[in-house]
C-alpha cells in the first residue's frame, strides 16, 4: 500500500514516499526542499532539494540521533 506524508516548517518541506511493493527507482524516497525566502527577509537561500532513499534516510536519522543527543551535554 503506497504511503506519503509531508511536514512543512518556515524554512523546509519534508516529504516521505513509500511503496513497499514497488522496486522501481524513486518509489521509496525522502525529500527535503528549502522554502523560498520570506517577505521579511529573515534569510535567503536558493531553492534546493535533496532526495535520498529510505536506506540513506535511516543512516542520516541514525547520525542525527547520535550526534544531536551528544550535543545536549555540551551546551
pLDDT, tens digit, 9 for 90 and up, residues 3-35: 999 999 988 999 999 987 777 777 899 999 998
Kindly compute the dihedral angle of the four CA atoms of residues 32, 25, 19, 13, in this order, to the nearest 10 degrees: 10
Find out whether 33 and 49 touch, Cβ atoms under 8 Å.
yes
The mean pLDDT of the chain is: 84
Residue 60 neighbours by CB under 8 Å, 6+ apart: 52
User: Which of 47, 56, 46, 48 lies closest to 16, judged by CA?
Assistant: 56
Whether the pLDDT of residue 69 is over 80: the answer is no
Domains with residue ranges and CATH for the chain: 3-71 (3.10.450)
* Strand residues in 1-75 grouped as ranges (E): 3-8, 12-18, 29-34, 49-53
Considering all CA atoms of the chain, what is the largest pairwise distance in Å, rounded to the nearest integer?
45
Amino acid at each position: 500500500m503506497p504511503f506519503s506524508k509531508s511536514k512543512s516548517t518556515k524554512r523546509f518541506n519534508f516529504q516521505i514516499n513509500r511503496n513497499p511493493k514497488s522496486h522501481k527507482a524513486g518509489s521509496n524516497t525522502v525529500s527535503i526542499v528549502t522554502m523560498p525566502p520570506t517577505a521579511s527577509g529573515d534569510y535567503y537561500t536558493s531553492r534546493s532539494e535533496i532526495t535520498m532513499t529510505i536506506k540513506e534516510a535511516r543512516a542520516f536519522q541514525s547520525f542525527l540521533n547520535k550526534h544531536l543527543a551528544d550535543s545536549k551535554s555540551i551546551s
